[in-house]
């Protein structure tokens, strides 16, 4: 406890030092106080932000607005339908189920991801020199197999007939792919898939965060008698909290948008997995099978509302966008 | 305030854009075009020889071929047609549907792609046994042609049956009794597969269980409490409990080892060469086919069918392009250069069935070919007509409810309940009003 307090009394509070995005405009204001500099700074900021705003409009706000408008149409898309499409979506027996599936997957995957990635990143950070960088590279390797390639690899891993970890499946009493990939196991399988696909990248990101902790802070901790464990738990971890928030935020968003993995797994197992296992698949089915575009739009809006809500919560709790000032 | 006005304007504009199209008929579409002769044909890989044979027979008709994904249950084809409808262009002139259920969306008033063939191809349609073409008859109009008939017969291992002193069953009741006897006397052998999307066709359709009884585009009759359903439920419940039917599907890699230990099973005509010979590698001279099983209580015998491809033709063409497309339609449905010489399935049209069977006899695979041939021809005429292809896919519902339940060791009764709930739910989500009266 004493260690922690002594860190708090340092003139540099952690957030000052480790914030990932220094704001250029503010720097200008601090150094040069003339109105011209402020104007230049604002113009520079506008130039920097403009491409993002354009993309946000094209790829985010316009489609979202279109979805909202579309979701308020009636079933035949001939006029205003109020919230009828939302009612149709919510009364679909698969609606709650798909969210349940995603929630279960997230419940397994996110803690695994947070604990696994933080643990590995701290280990890499605590292993100086070549060993640490080598390990970081090795952790990154599975992530290099992105998307479909990663999925193909997993198909071999999951099939007890071909898998190098077949002993594990036999241990569970499974002898065939259909027994391994049965719907009840899917959240665990997806969690493992997503962990190995994403963990390496996040170890690299968190290592970046850990690197940016100033040496003198760590030195101060050491002088105050903090061991490796205390340094990690009481100093490093609180200082990379925004990074952890960022990790949670992006992975939550990915989890809610799950589509490819259950979709392909459903085809590979000849339909053992329901073709509408996640909300996104259900929305896809509304658009291209049920041919009810307002329903598909309503599903998208619901997903957007949920991910935005959860996202805001994460941002607030982790202080992701705090300036620390 | 300004934002609200903007939203209102956007909304009104959208409503205006979408409101201008009313429902169209089933004949040539208003936007139909004529290429002057060139036709575009979409087929899955096994149907490519049909197009090649057509090009040889009709070198005067230029053909563009596109090979499509033949995976049954894939949704990407429907997605393409939704986009074609939005773009107002891009449809193929003729298509072989990889999955028979595709005809339900292709004929649905929202996509409304397949043309009514009732008058243009009346002579072709007349060559089908009524039960072979009835799934193409939608609201009284013929919207597709059958490529091959795939009626279910009873397949059995003649050598095993003879060695064990059994007679192949002729009724479902006997099938159950013999299965239970095999379970007791020869454990490890199986008499059916339940894990594939065709399983509800083999068992439920054959019994007349109303899972896909389409009343109209928005009305369907589903009643799993019907006695024609409960008798199959009880049968399968007993067989599952005795562990004599496999929860694997016929296409599953796990079925390969089991296929050699299949003593008997209802199955489609194409099981002979596709499953027994090519997939499960059962040696020649062992497998035989008998007439379809019948329910003792039924006054007339009926069977079901598993797949058997369907051809559809575009509403969006006219003139020479349409004439050439109809020439193609005639060819793929009735020309022996495709149906007899190259096609792997029993021809849908009656007159070509005997020539096709004569060719099949030469391969010498089946144990008693004449009996099998008679069973095939009989079966193709007694497929239950009141079972339609609907926009919800009963086979897919089956594979993600019954199959996982059985794989994880749950009882068939439990699987059946989940299947029934899900089937009705999916039908409703496709906008059908479900009638469950007896």
Looking at 3.90.550.10, 2.40.50.140, 3.40.190.10, 1.20.58.2240, the CATH number of the domain B25-149+307-348 comes to 3.40.190.10
pLDDT of residue B74: 66
Q: Which of A270, A272, A291 lies nearest to residue B82, judging by beta carbons? A: A291
B217 touches chain A (CB under 8 A): no
Chain A nearest C-alpha distance from B224 (Å): 18
Name the 3-class secondary structure at A28.
helix
Q: Rounded to two decimals, what is the model's pTM?
A: 0.84
Distance (Å, whole) CA A61 – CA B3: 14
Query: Least CA distance to A293: which residue of chain B?
Result: B82
Contact across the interface for B400 and A267, Cβ inside 8 Å: no
Looking at 3.40.190.10, 3.40.50.970, 3.40.50.410, 1.10.760.10, the CATH number of the domain B152-306+367-435 comes to 3.40.190.10
pLDDT > 90 in chain B, percent: 80
Distance (Å, whole) CA B431 – CA B433: 7
- Residues of B within 8 A of A284 (CB-CB) are 75
Distance (Å, whole) CA B146 – CA B345: 11
Contacts of B396 (CB under 8 A, 6+ apart): A271, A275, B73, B197
Q: Which of B71, B110, B248 lies nearest to residue A267, judging by beta carbons? A: B71
Contact across the interface for B105 and A72, Cβ inside 8 Å: no
A69 touches chain B (CB under 8 A): yes
Q: Write the burial class of residue B170 (CB in 10 Å: 0-12 exposed, 13-18 middle, 19+ buried).
A: middle
Selected residue of A79, A90, A98, A178 to mutate for chain B interface (largest B Cβ count, 10 A): A178
Mean pLDDT of chain A: 84
Which CATH class, in words, describes the domain spanning A2-16+83-318?
mainly alpha
pLDDT of residue B17: 40
A173 touches chain B (CB under 8 A): no
Contact across the interface for B18 and A75, Cβ inside 8 Å: no
Q: How confident is the model at residue B2 (pLDDT cuts 50, 70, 90)?
A: very low
Contact across the interface for B254 and A292, Cβ inside 8 Å: no
A92 touches chain B (CB under 8 A): yes
Return the percent helix, strand and coil in chain A, to nearest 5: 75, 0, 25
Distance (Å, whole) CA B328 – CA B58: 9
pLDDT of residue A14: 39
pLDDT of residue A323: 61
Chain B nearest C-alpha distance from A167 (Å): 18
Contact across the interface for A73 and B15, Cβ inside 8 Å: yes
Distance (Å, whole) CA A317 – CA A285: 35
pLDDT at A266 > cutoff 50: yes
Contact map slice: B 361-380 vs A, CB within 8 A = none
pLDDT of residue A187: 94
Name the 3-class secondary structure at B266.
strand
Question: What are the extents of the domains in chain A?
Answer: 2-16+83-318
Distance (Å, whole) CA A252 – CA A110: 8
Query: Least CA distance to A80: which residue of chain B?
Result: B15
Query: Least CA distance to A263: which residue of chain B?
Result: B74
Average pLDDT for B383-408: 92
pLDDT of residue A268: 82
- Tokens representing A308? 């935005």
Range in A132-136, A312-316, B30-34, B168-172 the model is least confident about = A132-136
Chain pair A-B, CB pairs under 8 angstroms? 104
Contact map slice: A 107-166 vs B, CB within 8 A = 161
Count H helices, E strands: chain B? 18, 15
Chain A nearest C-alpha distance from B403 (Å): 6
Q: Which of B403, B422, B431 lies nearest to residue A290, judging by beta carbons? A: B431
Contact across the interface for A79 and B15, Cβ inside 8 Å: yes
pLDDT at A177 > cutoff 90: no
Q: Which range, A3-17, A176-190, B285-299, has the best average confidence (pLDDT)?
A: B285-299
In tens, the pLDDT along A86-121 reads 999 999 989 999 999 999 999 999 999 999 999 999
pLDDT at B220 > cutoff 90: yes
A90 touches chain B (CB under 8 A): no
Q: How confident is the model at residue B71 (pLDDT cuts 50, 70, 90)?
A: low
pLDDT of residue A33: 56
pLDDT of residue B72: 59
pLDDT at B268 > cutoff 90: yes
Query: Least CA distance to A183: which residue of chain B?
Result: B404
pLDDT of residue A228: 83
Pick left, alpha or beta for residue B210 (phi over 0 → left; psi -120 to 50 → alpha; otherwise beta): beta
pLDDT > 70 in chain B, percent: 93
A258 touches chain B (CB under 8 A): no
pLDDT of residue B175: 98
Closest CA to B311 of B149, B146, B161, B190: B146
Q: Which of B19, B74, B247 lies nearest to residue A267, judging by beta carbons? A: B74
Selected residue of A183, A270, A280 to mutate for chain B interface (largest B Cβ count, 10 A): A270
Average pLDDT for A50-55: 94
Chain B nearest C-alpha distance from A105 (Å): 19
pLDDT of residue B378: 96
- Residues of B within 8 A of A275 (CB-CB) are 73, 75, 396, 400
Whether B25-149+307-348 shares its CATH topology with B152-306+367-435 is answered yes
Selected residue of B199, B391, B407, B417 to mutate for chain A interface (largest A Cβ count, 10 A): B407
- Residues of A within 8 A of B71 (CB-CB) are 267
Chain A nearest C-alpha distance from B245 (Å): 16
Q: How confident is the model at residue B22 (pLDDT cuts 50, 70, 90)?
A: very low
Q: Which of A92, A178, A267 lies nearest to residue B407, judging by beta carbons? A: A178
Average pLDDT for B267-271: 95
Chain B nearest C-alpha distance from A13 (Å): 43
Contact across the interface for B110 and A271, Cβ inside 8 Å: no
In tens, the pLDDT along A237-251 reads 888 888 888 899 999
Residue B279: how many other CB atoms lie within 10 Å: 16
pLDDT at B129 > cutoff 80: yes
pLDDT at B8 > cutoff 80: no
pLDDT at A22 > cutoff 60: no
pLDDT at A281 > cutoff 50: yes
- Residues of B within 8 A of A93 (CB-CB) are 421-422, 425, 429
Contact across the interface for A289 and B10, Cβ inside 8 Å: no
Contact across the interface for A177 and B254, Cβ inside 8 Å: yes
Contact across the interface for A178 and B196, Cβ inside 8 Å: no
Average pLDDT for A179-204: 90
Closest CA to B58 of B38, B34, B44, B32: B38
Selected residue of B399, B410, B423 to mutate for chain A interface (largest A Cβ count, 10 A): B399
pLDDT at A32 > cutoff 80: no
Selected residue of A73, A89, A271, A278 to mutate for chain B interface (largest B Cβ count, 10 A): A271
- Tokens representing B57? 């027979």
Q: How confident is the model at residue A272 (pLDDT cuts 50, 70, 90)?
A: confident
In tens, the pLDDT along B367-392 reads 999 999 999 999 999 999 989 999 99
- Residues of B within 8 A of A287 (CB-CB) are 82
Residue B285: how many other CB atoms lie within 10 Å: 13
- Residues of A within 8 A of B84 (CB-CB) are none
Distance (Å, whole) CA B253 – CA B58: 41
pLDDT of residue B205: 97
- Tokens representing B296? 């003792």
Chain B nearest C-alpha distance from A58 (Å): 16
Q: Which range, A158-167, A217-226, A254-263, B305-314, has the best average confidence (pLDDT)?
A: B305-314
- Tokens representing B150? 């795939």
pLDDT at B14 > cutoff 60: no
Residue A184: how many other CB atoms lie within 10 Å: 11
- Residues of A within 8 A of B407 (CB-CB) are 178-179, 182, 272
Average pLDDT for B26-31: 88
- Residues of A within 8 A of B422 (CB-CB) are 93
Question: What are the extents of the domains in chain B?
Answer: 25-149+307-348, 152-306+367-435
pLDDT of residue A10: 37
């Amino acid at each position: 406890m004493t260690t922690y307090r002594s860190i708090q009394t340092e003139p540099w509070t952690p957030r000052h030092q480790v914030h990932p995005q220094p704001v250029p405009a503010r720097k200008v204001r601090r150094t040069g106080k003339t109105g011209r500099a402020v104007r230049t700074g604002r113009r520079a900021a506008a130039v920097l932000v403009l491409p993002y705003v354009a993309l946000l409009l094209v790829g985010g706000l316009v489609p979202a607005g279109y979805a909202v408008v579309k979701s308020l149409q009636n079933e035949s898309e001939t006029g205003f339908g109020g919230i009828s499409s939302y009612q149709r979506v919510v009364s679909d027996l698969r609606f709650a189920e798909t969210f349940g599936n995603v929630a279960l997957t997230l419940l397994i995957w996110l803690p695994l991801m947070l604990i696994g990635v933080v643990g590995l990143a701290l280990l890499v950070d605590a292993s100086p020199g070549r060993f640490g960088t080598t390990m970081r590279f090795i952790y990154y390797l599975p992530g290099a197999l992105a998307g479909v390639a990663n999925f193909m690899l997993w198909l071999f891993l999951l099939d007890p007939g071909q898998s190098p970890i077949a002993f594990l499946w036999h241990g569970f009493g499974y002898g065939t792919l259909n027994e391994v990939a049965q719907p009840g196991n899917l959240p665990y399988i997806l969690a493992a898939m997503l962990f190995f696909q994403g963990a390496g990248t996040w170890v690299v990101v968190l290592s970046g965060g850990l690197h940016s902790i100033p040496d003198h802070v760590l030195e101060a901790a050491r002088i105050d008698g903090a061991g490796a464990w205390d340094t990690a738990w009481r100093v490093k971890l609180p200082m990379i909290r925004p990074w952890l928030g960022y990790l949670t935020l992006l992975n939550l968003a990915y989890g809610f948008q799950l589509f490819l993995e259950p979709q392909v797994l459903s085809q590979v197992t000849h339909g053992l997995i329901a073709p509408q296992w996640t909300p996104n698949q259900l929305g896809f089915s509304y658009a291209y099978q049920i041919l009810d575009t307002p329903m598909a739009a309503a599903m998208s809006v619901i997903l957007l509302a949920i991910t935005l809500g959860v996202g805001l919560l994460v941002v607030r709790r982790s202080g992701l966008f705090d300036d620390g000032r | 305030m300004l934002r609200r006005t903007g939203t209102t304007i956007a909304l009104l504009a959208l409503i205006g854009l979408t409101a201008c199209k009313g429902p169209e008929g089933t004949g040539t579409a208003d936007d139909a075009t004529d290429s002057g002769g060139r036709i575009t044909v979409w087929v899955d890989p096994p149907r490519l020889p049909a197009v090649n044979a057509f090009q040889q027979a009709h070198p005067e008709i230029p053909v563009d071929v596109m090979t499509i994904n033949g995976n049954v249950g894939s949704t990407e084809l429907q997605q393409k047609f939704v986009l074609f409808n939005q773009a107002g262009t891009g449809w193929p002139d003729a298509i072989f549907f990889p999955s028979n259920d595709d005809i339900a969306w292709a004929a649905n008033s929202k996509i409304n792609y397949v043309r009514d063939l009732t008058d243009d191809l009346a002579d072709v349609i007349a060559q089908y046994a009524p039960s072979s073409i009835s799934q193409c008859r939608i609201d009284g109009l013929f919207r597709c042609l059958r490529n091959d008939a795939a009626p279910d017969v009873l397949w059995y291992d003649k050598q095993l049956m003879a060695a064990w002193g059994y007679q192949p069953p002729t009724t479902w009741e006997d099938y159950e009794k013999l299965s239970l006897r095999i379970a007791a006397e020869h454990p490890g052998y199986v008499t059916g597969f339940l894990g594939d999307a065709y399983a509800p066709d083999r068992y439920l359709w054959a019994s007349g269980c109303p899972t896909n009884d389409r009343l109209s585009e928005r009305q369907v009759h589903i009643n799993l409490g019907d006695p024609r359903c409960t008798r199959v439920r009880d049968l399968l419940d007993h067989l599952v409990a005795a562990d004599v039917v496999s929860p694997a599907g016929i296409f599953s890699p796990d079925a390969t080892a089991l296929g050699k230990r299949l003593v008997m099973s209802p199955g489609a005509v194409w099981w002979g060469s596709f499953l027994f010979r090519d997939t499960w590698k059962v040696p020649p001279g062992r497998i035989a086919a008998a007439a379809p099983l019948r329910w003792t209580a039924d006054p007339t015998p009926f069977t079901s069918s598993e797949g058997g491809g369907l051809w559809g033709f575009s509403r969006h063409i006219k003139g020479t392009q349409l004439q050439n497309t109809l020439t193609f339609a005639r060819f793929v449905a009735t020309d022996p250069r495709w149906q007899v010489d190259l096609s792997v399935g029993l021809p849908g049209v009656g007159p070509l069935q005997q020539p096709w069977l004569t060719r099949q006899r030469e391969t010498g695979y089946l144990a008693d070919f004449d009996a099998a041939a008679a069973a095939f021809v009989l079966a193709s005429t007694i497929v239950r007509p009141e079972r339609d292809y609907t926009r919800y896919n009963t086979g897919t519902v089956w594979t993600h409810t019954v199959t996982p339940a059985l794989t994880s060791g749950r009882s068939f009764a439990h699987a059946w309940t989940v299947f029934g709930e899900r089937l009705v739910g999916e039908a409703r989500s496709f906008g059908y009003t479900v009638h469950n009266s007896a």
